[in-house]
Amino acid sequence: MEGTSTREQPGSGRTSSRKKEHVDLCVGDDVTFRGKTTGLERFELVHNALPELDLTDVDTTVEFLGKSCRFPFIINSMTGGYEEAERINRELAEACEETGVAMGLGSQRQALESDRFHDSWRSARKGAPSIPMFGNIGAPEIAGLRSTDGLRRLIDLIEADGLAVHLNPLQELMQPEGTPAFRGVLSGIETLVREMPVPVLIKEVGAGLSSDVVRRLIEAGVRHVDVSGAGGTSWSGVELLRSPSGDVDDPFWDWGIPTADAIAGARTLCNEHGIVLIASGGIASSRDIPVAIALGAHMVASARPMLKRLMSGGVDGLVETIRTWERHLRYSMFLTGSADVSALRNAPLRRTAP
């Protein structure tokens, strides 16, 4: 869950108030795609009645950003930069630490503007000292990048293992305060890849990465891409709800590349170049994880469902959900004869009826 714009004056507080609005809308309103799905429901794993392994043989662990994860799952970038975000990030992190999964932080743009809410990001690392964790900045903040000093401070703020840059041209276009200014972003990415002390991840925010964009990112030196496809939260929809016009019938509510199509389009390129492919965008149930991996993902990420579960059930409820998803992944691997996640990436899929 992301949100950024480029008009606000440093320290103005507008970034903080917008972040709170984003969280409130995502928890309380229906901001999902209306006429488009992720496409993951079009696929199912092929049952293997002779798996030739025991359930205890199944190994769900993976390495991500140089650290071990209990299974290939990320609680994806959500929030930070306002008062309540300190608790939210701490509790999300505590659940990640207890279950051994990775975590992404929300856009840290506000932390560049002011140090007022730095604890809203520090709280995440305090709650999760050992897991893979990455920071986050918006594409407009790196267009025409001249120095990485500020971004290095963001890394230090959370002792990050990586830095994500989120590409959100559609959201910027729809956002009342947004400025759709993306000239120079690719050059900025190249600079980050070359100069940052941690890996740079590139992610969309729910409209998907096309295979052409993935190719250009790889040519720029990027080694981690999150396709973040359409079918889950519509950030265009979120911004339309925030707009004074309230035009909820806008045709751009459903704009984007479905998650399944984005994964499939990126798979060959990522395999050829050894790129870590992350699948997100509408990952809303345990069924989505093994299907996304069999389509080609190395890691799978979810944001809004995790936040809603935290809000309804607290840390214990979120931990229970994550452990259930891990157990269901293990069962899926057993029932497809996949001893590890690499084998699951090659497990057969069949198309279901549309």
Residue 166 three-state SS: strand
In a domain, 229, yes or no: yes
State phi, psi for 47 to the nearest 5 degrees: -65, 135
H helix or E strand, kind and range, residue 239: helix 235-242
In a domain, 2, yes or no: no
Condensed to tens digits (0 to 9), the pLDDT of residues 182-199 reads 999 999 999 999 999 999
In a domain, 8, yes or no: no
Kindly tell me if the per-residue pLDDT of 36 is higher than 50: yes
- Measured over all CA atoms, what is the biggest interatomic distance in the chain, rounded to whole angstroms? 62
Give the residues across from 43 on adjacent strands. Answer: 351
In a domain, 161, yes or no: yes
Alpha-carbon span 12 to 116, nearest angstrom: 11
Alpha-carbon span 291 to 281, nearest angstrom: 13
Domain carrying residue 223? 14-351
Average pLDDT over residues 217-234: 97
Strand spans (E) along 177-307: 200-204, 224-226, 276-279, 299-302
For residue 3, the model assigns a pLDDT of 47
Average pLDDT, the chain: 91
Window from 28-32, 126-130, 281-285 with minimum mean pLDDT: 28-32
Tokens of 284: 């809303």
| 156 CA to centre of own chain | 21
Q: Measure Cα distances from 198 to 59, 66, 224 in Å.
A: 27, 10, 12
In a domain, 147, yes or no: yes
Residue pointed to by tokens 């157990």: 327
Report which of 80, 86, 133 is spatially closest to residue 111, judged by C-alpha positions.
80
Tokens of 165: 């840059």
Tokens of 297: 């993902």
Number of domains in the chain: 1
In a domain, 238, yes or no: yes
Tokens of 252: 């751009």
CB 75 within 8 A of CB 326: no
What is the band of 11 on the pLDDT scale with cuts at 50, 70, 90? very low
What is the band of 92 on the pLDDT scale with cuts at 50, 70, 90? very high
In a domain, 4, yes or no: no
Query: What CATH number has the domain bearing residue 77?
Result: 3.20.20.70
Average pLDDT over residues 28-37: 84
